[in-house]
Amino acid sequence: MGLFEEKPKLATVLGRAFRCLVCGHARFSSREVKLNSTGAELFNVAWANQSAMGLICARCGYVHEFTGNRPELWKEKDGYPEGAD
């Protein structure tokens, strides 16, 4: 991770607590991920591709990609919102 990145955070997806699908860890960093297509790459317009939100597991590094209803991130000191299971 870079020098100025924030600490990993908790995440919820559709109001439910989210855990890594690989190792079960609950803390993630996030970044924008480009969803490249072959056509856009072929015509050198990859910058126009859609983006997704990537949640990167702080333990194993697996990247979970989300489009549409994006996850919400929470500082650990705040905990999950009430009702998130």
Q: What CATH number is given to the structural domain containing 18?
A: 2.20.25
Helix (H) or strand (E) holding 41: helix 38-42
Q: What average pLDDT does the chain have?
A: 80
Which one is predicted more confidently, 44 or 7?
7
Reported as type and span, the H/E element at residue 74 is strand 72-74
Residue 24 lies in a domain: yes
Q: Within a domain: residue 27? A: yes
pLDDT above 60: residue 4: no
| Assigned domain for 82 exists | no
DSSP state, residue 36: -
Name the pLDDT band for 6 (thresholds 50, 70, 90): confident
The domain in which residue 61 lies consists of 10-74
Confidence of residue 77 (pLDDT cuts 50, 70, 90): confident
- Residue 57 is predicted with a pLDDT of 96
What pLDDT score does 1 carry? 46
